[in-house]
Homo-oligomer: A and B are copies of this chain.
Amino acid sequence: MTTKQRASAAPYAYEGLDRVIHERARLSVLTSLLTHPKGLTFNDLKQLCALTDGNLSRHLKVLEHAKLVEIIKGNDQNRPQTLCRITATGRKKYMQYLTTLEQVVRDAAKGAKNAPDLTLLRKLAPAEG
């Protein structure tokens, strides 16, 4: 079965949502790095993504292993500094991922438009949640 046939049989499978990128913390890190092509320090990333040292380290390792980011160890005024940067591969894969993400948003927007009147539903059904 070709990719196209699979997509038409399973239009909501969203196979393009690469799990390495889709995980929330890694999506945060990659989006930060995409918008800062010159790179970000470990501490900047930690703050921008609201991650702990341990969590950021763990996710950076996964991203580095997948060759989506590169970690450059260096010094800034004699203090050790870690610079993180998205690679060309990372950028390319992120853009592929984004195509599917945009599809999800489009599908959902279409679904939301066809929504039944929620006010009416709430009157008919017992309160949920």
Contact = CB atoms under 8 A, between A and B. Distances in A.
Interface residues of A, number: 55
A93 B98 CA distance: 22
A48 interface: yes
Interface of A is mostly: helix
A89 to B, nearest CB: 4
A29 B14 CA distance: 10
A17 interface: yes
Interface string A11-45: 11111010100101001110110111100000000
Contact of A115 (B22, B37, B116, B129): B37
A12 B37 contact: no
Interface of A: 6, 9-15, 17, 19, 22, 24, 27-29, 31-32, 34-37, 47-51, 67, 87-89, 91-95, 98, 101-102, 104-105, 107-112, 114-116, 118, 121-122, 125, 128-129
